[in-house]
Amino acid sequence: MARIEWTEELSVGVPELDAQHQRWINMINELHDTLLHGDADDLVEITGRMLRNMAEYVDEHFQAEEAYMERVGFVGLEEHRRIHQRFSERVRRYLEEHESGVTLLNTTLMKELENWLTEHIARQDKQYAPQPQ
């Protein structure tokens, strides 16, 4: 599976939020590299740490994004908030499963993280963009 690349096509026209999306993509790519090439002994611990960091960062980003949407009076805020909430719960569930010793299927996990983020930016985040991107 390839790493994700941030391109202008994923820009939402708000530099602060673009930077956050880039950072999140970097986190997914790092997890991707670790799962592919990481040392098997440390893999469980490192994966756990990365998932924990990501779960935290996801919430931080969602808060910043929701604050932005509130500031500009975006009409789809409530629906968008619910989508964030659902995803946040999913990441947390992965983390809990991982911590309770369930072996996550790397390809499934990565595909889900990657697809969710890029599709969410392209379909939902772009709707709050200041002008059509």
Residue type, 114: E
- Quote the CA–CA distance of 125 and 104 in Å, as a whole number: 28
Long-range contacts of 80-86 (CB under 8 A, 24+ apart): 80/124, 80/127, 80/128, 83/120, 83/124
Of the ranges 36-44, 87-95, 98-106, 121-129, which one interacts with Fe ion (CB under 5 A)? 121-129
- Select 65 or 114, whichever has its Cβ closest to Fe ion: 65
Query: Counting contacts by CB under 5 A, is residue 125 touching Fe ion?
Result: yes
114 binds Fe ion (CB under 5 A): no
Footprint (CB under 5 A) of Fe ion, residues 54-83? 65
CB of 21 to Fe ion, least distance (A): 6
What is the 3-state composition of the chain as percent helix, strand, coil, each rounded to the nearest 5?
75, 0, 25
Minimum CB separation of residue 91 from Fe ion in Å reads 14
Q: Is 113 in the site for Fe ion (CB under 5 A)?
A: no
Binding residues vs Fe ion (CB under 5 A): 65, 125
